[in-house]
Structure 1
Amino acid sequence: IGRYYMDAKKYQFVNNVVLTHPDYKINTKHLDFYSESGYAYLYGPSTIVTDDSKTYCEKGFYDTENKQGYGVKKTKIEYDNRVFEGDSMYFDNTRSFASATNNITVTDTINKSIIKGHYAEVYKDKDSVFITKRALAISVQQNDSIYVHADTLMVTGKPDKRITRAFRNTKMYKSDMSGKADSIHIDHQTGLTQLINLSRLSPKDAFAVKRRPIIWNLGNQMTGDTIHIKSNPKTEKLDSLIVFYDAFLISKDTISEDSYNQISGKRLVGLFDEKNNLRQVDIIKNAESIFFARNDEQELFGIDKAKSGSISIFFADGDIEQYNRYNQIDAKTYPESEFPKNARKLRGFDWREDERPKSVEDLFSDDPPLNLPVIKGLEDYVPQEEFFDESMIGRIEKAEKAEQPKASKDVKNKQKNNKKKRSKASRHLPQRILDSMQQKKEKPKPLMEASEN
């Protein structure tokens, strides 16, 4: 059903509307189309299909001349291998660009990754997504997903060469590993994750120390200037870890409340076992260590402090199982009573367990309160007024009577029997209106009530 409003130069269509053009096809429940400007207002479940994308919304606008539009209810754009969703979305098909606000999800169906946030921009031709406001990247894996949160996330590159970059206040969480850094760079093709420090700040700057990249695995904390984590993209297994410059590994003593096993050096190389737990750690160059030595009954029999060229440590279930020192060894084991408490921490010691994300929710613990803008946009759809009202039907019936010829009774009977023939005034009326008019004609008049004597 459609109408045309001459003053506004607007077409209004309802129920299963299709607008076809060589460059696009629109399907919608209700459509207001302005012929002069080419503006189309869509209400109800609607799609705009082009050669390279499909846009869905339940309330939106589309400029058919400039191929720009927006949706303000359940908007979704599908293109290539991605699905882009948000509460409010603007799109420009001439630039292959879209932006969205509030409750955004971008799903990469090939790489099995999802990014979320509350403001995003998508550049289709550049294979680029920018997202901020509680930005969260999720790499969906069969056994355990990886979550990365930052002030800003960027995902770029073709599906087989995808890169994720996280900037400022970056945190990551996995059930067996978590970390923090100023920035994180993930190469999904090679499986290399880099936790990067703020290079513009001096190492002595308190802010730089706070932002120094950190990794937690079971009971172990590792820090350094830069951290690389290598994993196998196919098997989803962690392979190795490298900490560059000022490497520091700390694990809390299993029994004592304020005792920590510590190793520091210039560089750290770690290897993981089949369960993604640290199995071996090598500290290379200028290695220093403090170990709280215990016997099989977990009784402390001494505190071991040493310097050496390098150290190899082997872990079992997160605890130190064995360690070996190499080159220029200077080591001594002290009875606990002879080792001063103020000497039990190596230079640069910084236990940061209180910063450790232990769940996905912890990734957002330092974020300010989230205040989302109110989406206004289009007014709700206003149903059409009844076109064939009582006044119009009355005029049609009057016109029909005026058209009836003054013929003989036989002619009238002949016309009465010819049901298909209608007058000019009513021949194009919808059947439901004709049926209503006929029912009125056939409705018996009420009998007059007998007056009381």
Structure 2
Amino acid sequence: MKLKLSIILILLFNVLLSQEKKIIQIIEAGSFDKNELDLPGANILKKNDNLRVHLLHDGMDIWSNYALFYKKNNSFKARGDVVVKQGDSIELYSEKLEYDGNSRKIIAKSNVIFKNNNTTLKTQILFHDRDLKEIYFEKGGVIKDSSNTIKSTEGKYYLENSKYEFNKRVNVYNNDTDIKSFKLDYYSDTEKVFFYGPTVITGQDYRIFSEKGFYNTKTKNGFFNTKAKIEYSNRTITGDSLIFDDLKKYASGKNNVTILDTINKTIIKGNFAEIFKELDSAMITRNSYAIKLLEKDSLFIKADTLFAIGPEKNRIIKGRYDVKFFKNNMSGKSDKFIMNQKNGLIKLLRNKLSEREQQILTSKEISKKNPVIWNGESQMTGDEIHIIRNIKTNRLDSLKILNNAFVIEKDSFGINNYNQMKGIDLFGNFKDNELEKIRLNRNTEMIYYLYDEESKELIGIDKAICSSILMTINNNKIDEIIFYTNPEGKVYPEMELEINEKILNGFNWRINEKILNKENLINN
């Protein structure tokens, strides 16, 4: 029992010894003096021609021209070219300095310069807690390291992890990048910036906006995940999280990504995107769709994957896999599409048929694979569909369906009756973004249900062939039909025709695929 008590007493004694405050030592001075009347309790230390005042406390050396040393309080006040050195990495210069040896806290004033490794801080007043290993300034400071300059109203430096913390306006800049923020941390050893408030990063050809993320000023890349936006090569990219790499000329985004092309009035959205500046291209996927802003309207285009390729004045947008589009009173589908921003051409294309598919598929089965558009109550299909936009007025100008053009319109009165027209090619014209006229050319055929205008009773079914058919559209319905060049036709009573005689070869009514509105397109 006595042995255990002795061990405890020894341990307590050692703890007390370790907690004993170290006394400030006077190493040398040019002169020593006292003035109890004006400076009670102070040792007045001054330099002379040969010696400066030199004090030491717990591994920290202090030199000055003049010092008041208070032995009882274990503190001093120094002034005149004050120099502080601690180890090989910390140096402090100022005109005035106050130090409390018990609390181990420093207050340096007037033309303060603090150096640690490769970092230099300049300010007018600086606080240093040696126990916490923290430095703090509150009346403006400038920090410089090997690459960056930092200006801020106030800041704190943590020596152990080389971190500067700024909670007010701060500016980090170098020859290539300028960062302005309200709250950020800067690590001087890695030159990385972590920010936690509204921040703008400006490079030579980009600007980044975010409220949370990090940026490496050395490798010029970063990650941004709160209100993130990148202005890059005449594109604006937003998303829940963005990645940016200036050296690789690359950016990407995840979740709720939007790419805005202000020059071409195009918006592309999706849940994952990549932008390659060197290739002048962008790819976006996962519920991706594009919005082409038209005069008084917008064209929505959705695809499994969208690409924007080329410089802004000659940019091409491509979509592949399950392409759909919608605008007011018009929608469509295809395997892929190409939109040329320079000439205003939009192509709706099907995937190329294999040799076997060409041999075994019927006209109806091929029609099922063909691009399709719905204009009001009319359905139009063909091997390839072109929609042309007037680049001067930014309105839809014309429509082309190349090869196997087929037009179907549900009869307004009959339950399973369909007006049908087909030919090799189709050409149409828009007025105020609405289809006004369409013309079928070469080997045209027609089946059309005729009704008495007053009684609305069925007169018969008009079956005709000719070289060309012109149709006028009114209120998104076929209003008038004109036949050109040797038309041949006959009106049959409905009962005289078998079911298969009431449809043209290749007929395929695809109304179940029709896109009814933009919400149906986006959320499908």
TM-score for the superposition, normalised by structure 1: 0.76
Alignment of structure 1 residues 214-225 onto 2, 5 Å = 214-225=372-383
Distance 1:349 1:167, change over 3 A: same
Shift in Å, 1:215: 1.0
Letter of the structure 2 residue corresponding to residue 295 of structure 1: D
1:187-227 CA-partner distances (Å, limit 9, x unpaired):
12211111001114435288864331011112111001100
- Kindly provide the amino acid, as one letter, of the partner of residue 426 in structure 2: L
Question: Is residue 178 from structure 1 mapped to residue 331 from structure 2 by the alignment?
Answer: yes
Q: What SS does structure 1 have at the residue aligned with 2:156?
A: strand
The one-letter code sitting in structure 2 at the alignment partner of 1:341 is I
Q: Does structure 2 conserve the Cα–Cα contact (< 8 Å) formed by 1:3 and 1:13?
A: yes
Tell me the secondary structure at the aligned position of residue 196 of structure 2. strand
Distance 1:104 1:157 in 2: 20
1:354 match: 512
Query: For residues 113 and 212 of structure 1, what CA distance do their matches in structure 2 show?
Result: 26
Partner residue, 1:278? 435
What residue identity is the alignment partner of 1:284? N
Matches within 5 A, 1:44-55: 44-55=197-208
Give aligned-pair identity as a percent: 39
Larger deviation, residues 276-285 vs 212-221: 276-285
Q: Which residue of 2 aligns with 1:238?
A: 396
Unaligned runs of 5+ in 1: 367-453
Distance change >3 Å, CA 145–CA 23, structure 1 → 2: same
1:116 aligns with 2:274: no
For 1:211, the equivalent position in structure 2 comes to 369
1:317 match: 475
Instruction: Provide, for residues 79-117 of structure 1, a one-character-per-residue CA deviation record: whole Å limited to 9, x for no partner.
Output: 343211111111001122110101111112222221111
Partner of 2:299: 146
How big is each residue's C-alpha offset from its partner over 1:253-310, in whole Å with a ceiling of 9 and x where there is no partner? 12111111101122112223x2443333222222111011123223321111123333
Q: Secondary structure at the match of 1:362?
A: helix
Larger deviation, residues 202-211 vs 278-287 = 202-211
Which of these residues, 215, 225, 247, is aligned with residue 62 of structure 1? 215
Native 8 Å contact 1:85 1:105 kept in 2: yes
Q: CA deviation at 1:58?
A: 1.1
User: Aligned-pair RMSD on alpha carbons?
Assistant: 2.0
Q: Is the counterpart of residue 255 in structure 1 residue 413 in structure 2?
A: yes
Partner of 1:145, secondary structure, is strand
Q: In structure 2, how many angstroms separate the alpha carbons of the residues matched to 1:354 and 1:250?
A: 14
Checking the alignment, whether the CA contact within 8 Å between 1:178 and 1:217 is kept in structure 2 is: yes
1:10-409 correspondence runs (5 A): 10-201=163-354, 202-203=357-358, 204=361, 209-272=367-430, 274-297=431-454, 298-327=456-485, 329-364=487-522, 366=524
Summarize the Cα distance change of 1:220–1:61 in structure 2 as closer, same or farther, 3 Å threshold. same
Structure 1 residue 357 displacement after superposition: 1.0
Structure 2 CA distance for aligned equivalents of residues 325 and 192 of structure 1: 29
Partner Cα distance (2:403, 2:498) in 1: 28
Deviating more after overlay: 114-123 vs 3-12: 3-12
- Larger CA deviation: 31-40 vs 287-296: 31-40
Amino acid at match of 2:371: P
Partner AA of 1:289 in structure 2: M
1:37 to 1:365, Cα distance in 2 relative to 1, 3 A: closer
User: Of the two structures, which has the highest relative contact order with CA contacts closer than 8 Å and spacing of 6 or more?
Assistant: 1
Q: Which amino acid aligns with 2:277?
A: K
Q: C-alpha distance in 1, partners of 2:219/2:414?
A: 70
For 2:400, the aligned partner's letter is I
Q: Distance in 2 between matches of 1:190 and 1:42?
A: 44
Contact 1:197 1:208 (C-alpha < 8 Å) held by counterparts:
no
CA–CA separation in structure 1 for the residues paired with 2:372 and 2:405? 10
| Shift of residue 329, structure 1, vs aligned partner | 4.0
Assess if the C-alpha contact under 8 Å between 2:463 and 2:491 holds in 1.
yes
Gaps in structure 2 of 5+ consecutive residues:
1-153
- Structure 1: distance between partners of 2:435 and 2:160: 75
How far did residue 327 of structure 1 move? 4.5
Equivalent residues of 2:426, 2:439 under 8 A apart? yes
CA distance in 2, matches of 1:35, 1:70: 19
The 8 Å contact of residues 326 and 517 in structure 2, kept in 1 or not, is answered as yes
Task: Tell me the distance in 2 between the aligned counterparts of 1:25 and 1:67.
Answer: 11
Q: Aligned to 2:385, what secondary structure does the other structure show?
A: strand
- For the residues of structure 2 that align with 1:282 and 1:334, how far apart are their CA atoms? 24
- Matched with 1:425 is none
Q: Distance in 2 between matches of 1:199 and 1:103?
A: 33
Letter in 2 for 1:88: S
Q: How many residue pairs get matched?
A: 365
The CA distance in 2 between the partners of 1:18 and 1:230, in whole Å, is: 49
Whether the 8 Å contact between 1:196 and 1:213 is mirrored in structure 2 is yes
Higher mean C-alpha deviation, range 169-178 or range 136-145: 136-145
> Helix, strand or coil: the match of 1:347?
coil
Going by fraction, where is strand more abundant, 1 or 2?
2
Q: Which amino acid aligns with 1:334?
A: Y
2:314 and 2:241 map into 1 onto residues whose CA distance is 30
- 1:227 is matched by which residue type in structure 2? I
2:353 and 2:458 map into 1 onto residues whose CA distance is 44
After TM superposition, give the deviation of residue 141 of structure 1 in Å.
2.7
Tell me the secondary structure at the aligned position of residue 44 of structure 1: coil
- Secondary structure of the residue aligned to 1:354 is helix
Alpha-carbon separation, structure 2, partners of 1:170 and 1:179: 8
Shift of 1:143: 0.7
| Stretch of structure 1 that moved more, 168-177 or 286-295 | 286-295
